[in-house]
Structure 1
């Protein structure tokens, strides 16, 4: 884990990995949780976590959002980008608005967050930028092709940031399938039979939100100070 005196900004903190990361770091130091769902932010605020209501697809506002977070709680020692959109549809059925929203959320917004993060006015020299990617970046499948492409772009972004933003570090985790609100929205596809098959083909057992959060905590910790530009797969071995 990062040291207690740090300030971590968690982008996409309303549910799933983002919420779990915000709650984990809140036990150690200053955390700012950013999300568009004000009802979820209210729950985090009740737990003593600073919150910012913002939509990451409002690209022009990203610089100001980071400045506000820093003005409130000090320079960032870490930023965890957890916001993500998955659209499960055949390519022929995708609308322009859907594709635009997916790429804005999964790739363009983290690019702009990273651009601002690299400023000495926003983050410390030893700060860490961490993003949530996906195993789909390396294993695109029918009906999630644009999602996979956006995550592959995110992986390339992380590798490039590791070189350009040094000595700041840039890392990512690439989870396999997780039981979250995003996947629960497709309950017909991801029912009991799917989960049972996933467990069987995962040598270390199917990954969980908790295991992904543990991986993020390690990558952002001083123990991983010589790890940068890496995308750590967390899927229990399901994609081996």
Structure 2
């Protein structure tokens, strides 16, 4: 059997970017997929990917998740945090539990994953922590203010990790709008007219999940070994 080139933990691997990242890295590395949807994890397990079922808002369980992954497949050479929650609501309509879950998922959980990731027993010295942010972090809009604020915090986390966890690297991608299950749940907002306007505003074309995954693979590769603390925008130029 060929030697496995590293061990990648993908958090939020049940759908969208997370699932695509797990499947891409599984082509050449050992992968552990983390998600709360056991039915989706079963599909990944059938493809030879190790799986751990957990809701990332169960913050006390995060340390155990990393320990279990390392015990099963060895120290991490990379961690990709793809879990995310989006709320599209006016501020006046937000409930306490909604806001709490959003910030736990988008900012508190990745902070705790990163804290454990920096431990020498968990990751190698050249390991890479990568998170999925959003262009909303720099361009907050009405009805997604808490989401944008959580992603802005995530960007600050990445920049700080790059300094504190060195020589490990910390990077992020900031996609624009993507056609995923998350956005498909708001089909009324993201209809044909929205997509046509987005296409007009995107000089390089509307970004896709595949293009975001390509960016993640590059940022975590040796070719990006001197890139750290950066948040790479992947939106086809729509926010220029």
Which bracket does the TM-score occupy, shorter chain normalised?
over 0.9
Distance 1:54 1:75 in 2: 20
Cα displacement string for residues 23-52 of structure 1 (whole angstroms, at most 9, x for unaligned residues) = 000000100000000000001011111100
Cα displacement string for residues 182-227 of structure 1 (whole angstroms, at most 9, x for unaligned residues) = 0000000001111111111100000000000000000000000000
Distance 1:164 1:158 in 2: 10
Matched, 1:224 2:224: yes
Distance 1:64 1:10 in 2: 15
RMSD: 0.8
Give the corresponding residue for 2:204: 204
Give the corresponding residue for 1:131: 131
Distance 2:45 2:63 in 1: 22
Q: Per the alignment, in what secondary structure is the counterpart of residue 103 of structure 1?
A: helix
Matched, 1:194 2:194: yes
Query: Unaligned regions of 5+ residues in structure 2, if any?
Result: none
Give the corresponding residue for 1:54: 54
Instruction: Kindly report which structure 2 residues correspond to 1:92-103, keeping only aligned pairs within 5 A, or say none.
Output: 92-103=92-103
Cα displacement string for residues 32-76 of structure 1 (whole angstroms, at most 9, x for unaligned residues) = 000000000001011111100001000001001100000000000
Instruction: Kindly report which structure 2 residues correspond to 1:3-14, keeping only aligned pairs within 5 A, or say none.
Output: 4-14=4-14
CA shift, 1:4, in A, is: 4.7
Work out the number of aligned pairs and report it.
238
Instruction: Kindly report which structure 2 residues correspond to 1:60-99, keeping only aligned pairs within 5 A, or say none.
Output: 60-99=60-99
Distance 1:108 1:16 in 2: 21
Q: Per the alignment, in what secondary structure is the counterpart of residue 177 of structure 2?
A: coil
Matched, 1:140 2:123: no
Distance 1:78 1:4 in 2: 13
Cα displacement string for residues 145-204 of structure 1 (whole angstroms, at most 9, x for unaligned residues) = 000000000000000000000000000000000000000000000011111111111000
Distance 2:166 2:22 in 1: 25
Give the corresponding residue for 1:107: 107
Distance 2:199 2:4 in 1: 36
Q: Per the alignment, in what secondary structure is the counterpart of residue 5 of structure 2?
A: coil
Distance 1:4 1:65 in 2: 21
Q: Per the alignment, in what secondary structure is the counterpart of residue 173 of structure 2?
A: strand
Task: State TM-score, norm by structure 1.
Answer: 0.98
Q: Per the alignment, in what secondary structure is the counterpart of residue 14 of structure 2?
A: coil
Q: Per the alignment, in what secondary structure is the counterpart of residue 149 of structure 2?
A: helix
Give the corresponding residue for 1:18: 18
Task: State TM-score, norm by structure 2.
Answer: 0.98
Query: Unaligned regions of 5+ residues in structure 1, if any?
Result: none
CA shift, 1:79, in A, is: 0.1
